[in-house]
Amino acid sequence: MKLQSLFLVLALSFGTCVVNAQQFDGGVATYFSKTSFDFENFGGREMSEQMKKQFAERMKSRLEKTFTLTFTKDESIYEEEEKLDAPGAGGGMRFMGGGFAQGGIYKNIAEDTYARENDLMGKSFLVKDTLNKLDWKLEKESKMIGQYAAFKATAVRKIDENPFEAMRRRRDQDADSTAVAAPKEEVITAWYTPQIPVSQGPDEYWGLPGLILEVSAGRTVILCNKIVINPKEGLEIEKPKKGDEVSREEYEAIVVEKTKEMAERFGNGRRRGPGGRG
């Protein structure tokens, strides 16, 4: 254990010198994100193992994604890499009569600003707000991630259940009085490297004394697998600017309202008999 700690210290010292010895403009980090699916709470109790396997395969493109984080000391943009859908997989999350799509996450640490372009049922919104801040606790654990010495940090975050999960949970609780309530908080574990001296990270994570290379939160794990410092083609960080400007709170209220509308339309459709008659 002592030998491993010494190795990490040497790697950290050497790596920091390498980054600081050159003109550091920023870099591009590639992340792989994987989310496990909660079959039990999605009706999986009634699914056979074969059905679960088939469903998991169809959901793979939605639950396993690749992102790039283009970053400088102050700014970053976190964007999903474009890829073609498999035949029959469909093109993203769809609502009745519309769609839902999210753009890249822009963070400006110097200005404490967050921005993201979202499309909701045919309408564009520009979500602008201050950055979400986590109260990170720096732990003593360390490990190597690729060639970088990484250190552990944890934080506790309140869980805001999205409208779809809330609808499903209310439905389950109505059907079963013993249904377990959703947890109110979750522990986030991150691994950061001071070898890259920026407080940036994937998704909405930031605020540690080094680039965040790995995050575990709930059912999602995000892992960095490639970093290019000062890429030859340069860095391009474009701040989102399209859509009706709203705060996070305002946008969430709009999503809730649209979700209710969709649920009512869907429910009315199910209640109607053949030909649309009651």
Task: Write the Ramachandran bin of 20: left for phi over 0, alpha for psi from -120 to 50, otherwise beta.
Answer: alpha
Q: What is the mean pLDDT of residues 234-256?
A: 93
**Pair 200, 211: CB distance under 8 Å:** yes
Residue 129, pLDDT score: 97
Give the burial class of 121: count Cβ atoms within 10 A of its Cβ; 0-12 exposed, 13-18 middle, 19 or more buried: middle
Q: What is the pLDDT of residue 249?
A: 94
253 against 171, higher pLDDT: 253
195: closest CA among 4, 2, 22? 22
Average pLDDT rounded to a whole number, residues 93-117: 81
Residues 173, 152 contacting (CB under 8 angstroms):
no
Q: Is the pLDDT of residue 23 over 90?
A: no
Question: What is the reported pLDDT for 57?
Answer: 65
**pLDDT-based confidence at residue 250 (cuts at 50, 70, 90):** very high
Give me 25's structure tokens: 């403009």
CA distance 2 to 167: 51
- What is the number of residues in the chain? 278
User: What is the distance of C-alpha 209 from the center of its chain?
Assistant: 21
**pLDDT tens digit sequence for 77-104:** 999 998 655 444 444 444 434 567 899 9
Nearest to 196 by CA among 150, 152, 154: 150
Burial of 26 per CB tally in 10 Å (0-12, 13-18, 19+)? buried
Averaged pLDDT, 232-257: 93
At residue 257, does pLDDT exceed 70? yes
Residue 212 token pair: 């965040």
Tell me how far apart the alpha carbons of residues 138 and 190 are, in angstroms, rounded to a whole number: 10
Reported pTM? 0.76
| Residue 2 pLDDT exceeds 60 | no
| pLDDT of 217 strictly over 80 | yes
pLDDT at residue number 244: 96
pLDDT band at 192 (very low <50, low <70, confident <90, very high): very high
Show me where the domains of the chain are located: 2-84+92-272
Q: Per residue in 28-73, pLDDT tens?
A: 999 999 998 765 555 555 667 776 666 666 666 678 999 999 999 9
Evaluate whether 41 touches 251 at the Cβ level (below 8 Å): no
**Running DSSP on this structure, what letter comes out for residue 195?**
T
Q: What pLDDT is stored for residue 263 in this prediction? A: 75
Show Cβ contacts of residue 204 under 8 Å, excluding neighbours closer than 6 positions.
105, 107, 114, 131, 132
Predicted confidence at residue 158, as pLDDT, reads: 87
Q: What is the mean pLDDT of the chain?
A: 79
Is the distance from CB of 184 to CB of 171 less than 8 angstroms? no
| The pLDDT of residue 18 | 46
Instruction: Compute the half-sphere exposure of residue 154: CA atoms within 13 Å on the CB side of its CA.
Output: 9
